[in-house]
Structure formats: C-alpha cells, structure tokens
Structure 1
Amino acid sequence: MSAMAASPTATGPAPSAGTAGPDAAERRRFRRAAGRFPTGVTVVTATADGQPHGTTVNAFSTASMDPLMILVALGNDSRLREHALHSGSFAVTVLAAHQEADARHFADPARPPGAAGFAGRPWRTAGHARSPVLTEGVAAFDCSLAAAFPAGDHTVLLGRVERFDVLSDGPPLLFADSRLLPGP
C-alpha cells in the first residue's frame, strides 16, 4: 500500500476493507477534484465470439518501458471488461481532437452491440488482439493481457504491448472538468 493510500484525506481517513464507502456527495466532490487533471480519451476494444466490442475510457496510462506495458481501468459491470478478461487481449486507440462524436458514441450504453457499433467509423483489426483500432486516432496499442487487478468498482487491466502505432501527428482529444476538449 502506498503512503498516499494510507494517509488521511481532507474528509477523514480512507475507508478500509469492510467499511462503508463514500456517499453520493463525496463521490461527486471526488469526481470534481479528480476531473481537474486532464486526461486523454481512448476507445478500448476486445473481440468476443468473433464480434468486436468497444468502450470509451479515460483511465489509461503507460505502466512500463521495459517491457512495454500500458494500463486501463474498466468498470466491474463493463461488458468489455469481461470480453478482455476472457480473450486475454485488448486494443486501445487514443482519440484525435476531432473524434468527440466517437468518444460519445462508445460511451453510450445504448449503442448497437458488436460490429454494428463500429458502423460508419473507419477501423482496422489489430494483429495480436484481433480487436478494432479506430484508424482516425492519434495512436494505437495492441496488447496481450498481462494481469488484472481489482480496484474497488473497477478492474485495472495491465497490457503487454505487442504492437503500437502513431497514427497521426495531430492533437489528441482531452477530458477535463467533465468536458471533452481538443488537445494542444
């Protein structure tokens, strides 16, 4: 456990296992505080039963340079989480500044399932993961699943990068203060 996780917060000590978590007001305040840190916006994909699946994720980071590894956090109730765990692989597309519609589309739980959810969006299949990469993004990562860690209401997937591409030199799409913004 890191020193930060064990230290008190502004509203008291962090809850330990078996204690009640934060209430709705505390979660909103936490989301607002964390939202002050701009993140990139990605679409994480996996293939299950021959069908591509994807969801918008902003909890993405590099994890290691040797070996090359990235991490993403997916909600425990996410169908994509189950697909990635079952298939043992996933792909990540870092969205370009002009892809706000794609970010919103893949965040919408009412979007069509499977290949129909990718209709009208240029994509190709990543080699190792056999999962979609949106070709208008700025970067893509094709990963094998190295590990999965429980993290409260999310699961952190650690991916060993099997292949990566810089797709564009254009600016990325960012998320801050609950808004999608074009990158610098």
Structure 2
Amino acid sequence: MHHGPVENQVDQAVFRKVTGRFATGVAVATTLHGGVDHAMTVNSVASVSLDPLLVLVCVERIARFHDAVLAAGIFGISILGEDGEEASRAFAKRGRTLHGQLDRWSHRRGTLGLALFDTAIATLECRTRAVHDGGDHSIVVGDVVSAHAPRDHAPLVYYAGRYRHLRPPGR
C-alpha cells in the first residue's frame, strides 16, 4: 500500500554506507544508438522473471548512457570476472571520450549488434520492455534475447566501497 511521498529522514551518506553492505556483482552495460557504442559500469542488475525472461538494470538519469539506452531500446550486460576491475573503473568514469571507448577492450557483437566483452563471465542482450521511475535513476526492464556463460571464472564483487574477489566453489 502506497501512502504518497515519504519524508526523508535518513542522511545520504548513511544510506550509501548501509546499501554498500549489500555485495553486488559488477557489469558493463552497453547499447548502440546512432551507430555509436555507449557503455557504463553498473552494479544494479537483477533477474526479474523466468516467464517471460526479464532482467533489469538501473541507470542514472544524468549519465550519457541513460538517453542512449532509452532511445535505442536495446541493451547488453557483460558480467565481469575478477579480472575485470580495470574495465569497471574505465567505464565508471564520467566524461570519457565516447568514440572509440571500446577499442582497447576485446569484444564481440551479439545477436542485437551490441558490444559484449570477450572476458565477461556471462552476457545478456535485451530488448527494453518497460522503463520505470527510480528517483535519480531509471529502472530499465528488458526481455532477454540472448544469454551466454562462456567463462567459469570467479566474479568481480563490489562491497563496502571496494572491489573484492570471490572464489567459486571447488577452486
């Protein structure tokens, strides 16, 4: 039951600290708009539904990627392994050069023509189904068009403001 806006009584710094205690995977989201690749690091990625297959990604409204992914109506997710910290940092930087930003990262084109990282431990391609208001972010929900898990390596994890490494079982 929704009772309208809630008065915010939690300090943003405290909120960031608390939500930072939730360990997340790290991924690079990509889209292709106007013949130009757009990419950004994300950690708000989640599976939504098995029937139909849906995932979501949260995109900050002020990010250049935001308008591109909404206009394109498609997005890719490259889930980074423990060797992906450099890529994560690169695509988290604001104001980086847009053209050629993927040149130093080995990637392939997926079913929808989206750039997917060759070093990713898993990839998804999606067609946008819905976009929801998420405050200073948009929640972009997509129908999964392709899914691959090419590498069985440990994931890159972000926890308490730092990159962490998690060993998969049996290693």
Counterpart-to-counterpart distance in 1, 2:29 and 2:9: 28
* CA distance 1:22–1:49, shift in 2 (3 Å): farther
Which of 122, 127, 131 pairs up with 2:111? 127
Q: Secondary structure of the residue that 1:32 maps to in structure 2? A: helix
Instruction: Report deviation, 1:67.
Output: 1.0
Does 75-84 or 145-154 show the bigger shift? 75-84
Counterpart-to-counterpart distance in 2, 1:92 and 1:179: 21
Partner of 1:42: 27
Instruction: Report deviation, 1:183.
Output: 2.1
Instruction: Report deviation, 1:181.
Output: 1.1
Q: Look up the equivalent residue of 1:161 and give its one-letter code.
A: V
Q: Is the 8 A contact 1:98 1:182 kept in 2?
A: no
Counterpart-to-counterpart distance in 2, 1:133 and 1:48: 15
Partner of 1:140: 123
Counterpart-to-counterpart distance in 1, 2:73 and 2:50: 21
Please tell me whether residue 63 in structure 1 is matched to residue 48 in structure 2: yes
Partner of 1:151: 134
Percent identity, aligned pairs only?
A: 27
Counterpart-to-counterpart distance in 1, 2:27 and 2:87: 10
Gaps of 5+ in 2: none
Q: CA RMSD in A?
A: 1.6
Partner of 1:95: 80
Q: Look up the equivalent residue of 1:124 and give its one-letter code.
A: R
Gaps of 5+ in 1: 7-15
Structure 1 residue ranges (4+ consecutive) displaced by more than 4 angstroms after TM superposition = 19-23
Q: Is the 8 A contact 1:125 1:132 kept in 2?
A: yes
- TM-score, normalised to structure 1, is 0.86
Q: Look up the equivalent residue of 1:170 and give its one-letter code.
A: H
Pairs aligned (count): 167
Q: Secondary structure of the residue that 2:83 maps to in structure 1? A: coil
Q: Is the 8 A contact 1:143 1:159 kept in 2?
A: yes
